[in-house]
Each structure stands twice: as C-alpha cells, then as structure tokens.
Amino acid sequence: EFVVRLAKRGVEFVVPSDKAIIDVLREAGIEVQTSCEQGVCGTCVTPVLEGEPEHHDLFLSDEERDSGLMTLCVSRSRSKLLVLDI
C-alpha cells in the first residue's frame, strides 16, 4: 500500500494493494475523469509532484513519464508517498 496526497485539496488517502487510486478517490467522493480504466485512453492522466509512480498503462510515452505524468486508473506507486497535482 501507499499514500496518495492531493496537493490542491490538502488531503491524503491510503491506497491498499487491492484497490486502484481512482477507486480510493471515488470512495472519498473525489471526482476523477476516466474512460477506459485500463490504461489505454489517457483520460485520467495526472501530474505527479513528488514520489515515484509505478506505471502500468499503455498510454504514456517514456518522455511523458519522465516529465512527471501518470495514469490514475491502473498505475500505482513505488514510493510510500505519491503527491498529485490535483
């Protein structure tokens, strides 16, 4: 599990190993735009401010990953804390 912090809202949530980031955010009542929810469409791409994402999508290029973007539907975190710019 890891913690996801939403920088603009000033809140954080634990993401357990059996849940996606979008599931946890939705359960908390936070609206996240998604479409495919399989890591292919790019609708849920979000900027990361801190932490190391563990990418599981098929959408982002290496350059986009290096620039600090991740998908919230399938990707997770290598670091204990992931800070998102939302």
Contacts with ligand FES, residue ranges (CB under 6 A):
34-37, 39-44, 57, 59, 71, 73
The conformation of residue 72, written as its DSSP 8-state character, comes to T
Q: Is the Cβ–Cβ distance between 13 and 3 less than 8 Å?
A: yes
- At closest approach, how far in Å is the CB of 36 from ligand FES? 4
Q: Which is nearer to ligand FES, 1 or 35 (CB)?
A: 35
Q: What are phi and psi of 70, to 5 degrees?
A: -150, 160
Q: Which is nearer to ligand FES, 10 or 55 (CB)?
A: 55
Element (H, E) at 33: none
- At closest approach, how far in Å is the CB of 47 from ligand FES? 14
- At closest approach, how far in Å is the CB of 17 from ligand FES? 19
